[in-house]
Copies of this chain bind each other. A is one copy, B any other.
């Protein structure tokens, strides 16, 4: 009866019942699905669909309100700089990682010498990864380096099998191929464990125990509200969220953390993955585990514009990690949506619109130099910089970046993949 009351309370407020504590406004009533409230009503953001009618992209401030997360403000960026003792990554400086949950708590603990671990992942739906897929990995590598902490990377090949018209073998094959690109991002083999669900679920009784614990504490009603599942969905989809949740708990990895279940997890991911972790944070205290903290990124825009997320199945929607210098040049010149004017004369006179220009957006992701980026913005806005010239800057930024990635990927042997994917102790001090 008391349990029932507590569960109803939870259902209504989105929070665990604590005697004497009213639900806090900040944490209350997280959005329960794609159509649950009116804020940012033009934008759809869930793990399977990201769309907006706005050319500048999704309204991220509204998304923070809808999802009940917190903005990464200048104060937090400054604090990260102070705690890790390094200049903040450009993704932080430029608001590409723009939202968080409990990051202050992670830093509080770190200052008291209580460390944490990182968890990120990828759904391997094809062999081909594009530059947008690198965003969480580039940032996670930076976090690993500056905080000197262990990292687990989940490849949800089981999810892709459940959602797509692919065989188990195909999805597992994509997981292995994607792992090569992930390793090429430069992760420290002594501090990183990469796993395929199809392999690791069947290799770790501890991982499965956490999956079952989560599955016991989430109802169909809840996943229906959070993910929009229906009665026609297969039972694999319905129970999958528990598998994406489980790596948030340190005892899912006994070869790394032993039986410790109190090590805080920090998850850098694109904001569309937040529903999984809202659910995880809801369950965590009920099974005796700490809630994972999160850092959310914006979406990487398609070449055609910021209205949609890129599609791995449309070769012209992005720059792929396998593209040649010539392909990069052609794609940028031919497909990148421009904020420039129709004629050179008009452009010189009125200037371009950097806010909707995909080349400029890509440069905010990949051009390291803040001053150079600001100058490009000013020149483009004033009309001093033409669209063709802006495209050339992007092409010359991407070509060496992709070539270097391809060079590093070539060095990734099957043996190295196997090492990264073998459950084993990692080297770290917590």
Name A's B-contacting residues (CB within 8 A). 158, 161-162, 168, 198-199, 201-209, 212-213, 215-221, 223-224, 229-236, 238-239, 241-242
Contacts and interface: CB of A to CB of B under 8 A. Distances in A.
Given A199-B205, A215-B236, A220-B231, 19 more contacts: A162-B216, A198-B209, A198-B212, A202-B202, A202-B204, A212-B236, A215-B235, A216-B236, A218-B234, A219-B231, A219-B233, A220-B229, A220-B232, A221-B231, A223-B235, A235-B241, A236-B239, A238-B238, A238-B239
A161 B212 contact: yes
Given A202-B207, A207-B202, A220 B233 contact: yes
A198 B204 CA distance: 10
Nearest to A205: B202
A209 B162 contact: no
Contact of A213 (B168, B219, B221, B241): B168
A235 B161 CA distance: 19
A217 B198 contact: no
A197 to B, nearest CB: 8
Given A205-B202, A219-B234, A221-B232, A212 B162 contact: yes
A204 B242 CA distance: 19
Contacts of A232: 219-221
Greatest chain B CB density within 10 A among A201, A202, A230, A241 is at: A202
A229 B220 CA distance: 10
A417 to B, nearest CB: 16
A204 B199 CA distance: 8
Contact of A202 (B201, B215, B223, B239): B201
A212 B158 contact: yes
Copies per assembly = 2
Contacts of A216: 161-162, 234, 236
Q: Which of A207, A209, A218 has the most CB of B within 10 A?
A: A209
A220 B232 CA distance: 6
Nearest to A215: B236
A129 B239 CA distance: 31
19 contacts: A158-B212, A161-B212, A162-B216, A201-B205, A202-B208, A202-B209, A212-B236, A215-B235, A215-B236, A219-B232, A219-B235, A220-B220, A220-B229, A220-B230, A220-B235, A220-B238, A221-B232, A235-B238, A235-B239
- Of A201, A218, A235, which is in contact with the most chain B CB atoms at under 10 Å from its CB? A235
Given A201-B201, A202-B203, A231 B224 contact: yes
A208 B199 CA distance: 9
A124 to B, nearest CB: 14
A32 B303 CA distance: 50
Contacts of A241: 235
Contacts of A219: 231-235
A173 to B, nearest CB: 13
A337 to B, nearest CB: 35
A235 B279 CA distance: 13
A186 B88 CA distance: 67
A207 B202 CA distance: 7
A163 to B, nearest CB: 9
A161 B217 CA distance: 11
Contacts of A215: 162, 234-236, 239
A203 B233 CA distance: 28
Interface centre among A209, A218, A220 (most CB of B within 10 A): A220
A159 B235 CA distance: 15
Contact of A212 (B168, B229, B238): B168
A218 B205 contact: no
Contacts of A233: 219-220
Contact of A203 (B205, B218, B220, B229): B205
Nearest to A201: B208
Contacts of A238: 220, 235, 238-239
